[in-house]
Amino acid sequence: MPQPAFDMLRALAIGSQALGLMLIITLETVMGDAARPWQGCVLVIMVASALTIALVRLYQNKRYQKQMAERRRNADEEEER
């Protein structure tokens, strides 16, 4: 299967990581050492979003594989008739 020209999940992953990094740097600039707990929270949110996106990707791939297997099975049944 050819890759689509625009992959929404990839764009979402890149955007969320870029936003998190910018937020971490901004917190350090504005708050100094007091930003440490907030930076940790942002990091946890970044990791959680990355894991969620990975699970969605896995689910989509498994669903696509099941659809392809069903199509192959239907094509084989039609061929036998």
Angle, CA of 16, 63 and 66, to the nearest 5°:
155
pLDDT at 11: 94
User: 9 phi and psi, to 5 degrees?
Assistant: -65, -40
Q: Where are the domains of the chain?
A: 9-80
Backbone φ/ψ region at 32: left (φ over 0), alpha (ψ -120 to 50), beta: left
Per-residue pLDDT tens over the stretch 5-64: 888 999 999 999 999 999 999 999 999 999 999 999 999 999 999 999 999 999 999 999
∠ CA 61-65-68, nearest 5°, is 140
Residue 3 has pLDDT above 90, yes or no: no
Position 5 scores a pLDDT of: 82
Angle of helix 36-80 relative to helix 8-31, nearest 10 degrees? 180
